[in-house]
Amino acid sequence: IEHTNDLQKQDQRQDDCEEKSTELSSRTHRLRKPESKSVSFSHVEIREFSIVVGDHPMCMSLPLSLGWMHCQEDIMIGIDLYEDFRRQRPRRSGSNLVLSYFERKNRLREVAGLTEAEIFCAERSFLRNKRRDGHCLRPPPPSGVVFADHRKNRSN
């Protein structure tokens, strides 16, 4: 009988310990600040792609697109060097991102290595497809000139 009483007392003490441990754990969990999560990077990997004549329907002529071909070796630079470079040159936006017809043509010639004849054929093909698909055509504007789009104000 004495042995049974000892076992019961031991069980009771163990239950009390578990209860206090659970209560303490619960209190600690509530008092603990949520862990802040962060992400960091060590380098930036830059891949250079080819430039090709694209098919964007809103471009008047000679739309540029990235091709599938890219340089075999990617450029890797440290994140700090990249961030320093970004701070020195502010981001471009709006009209600074738009290339004129002549700038696009020069890029195709100088960067993509297309000849004048290849550019002419690509432009003709693009315009033919655009006409076939029913997109509005108008001549390319002179460099720096922006046309207002009156279709936005037209009610259907």
**Which residue in this structure is represented by tokens 């792609």?**
49
pTM beyond 0.85: no
Largest distance between two CA atoms of the chain: 108
Handedness of CA 52, 55, 59, 65 (dihedral sign): negative
pLDDT at residue 152 above 50? no
What six digits make up the tokens of 96?
A: 């600074």
Mean pLDDT score of the chain, rounded to an integer?
75
Distance from C-alpha of 53 to C-alpha of 62, rounded to nearest angstrom = 6
Let me know if 54 is exposed, middle or buried by CB neighbors in 10 A (0-12, 13-18, 19+): middle
What's the pLDDT score for residue 81?
Answer: 93
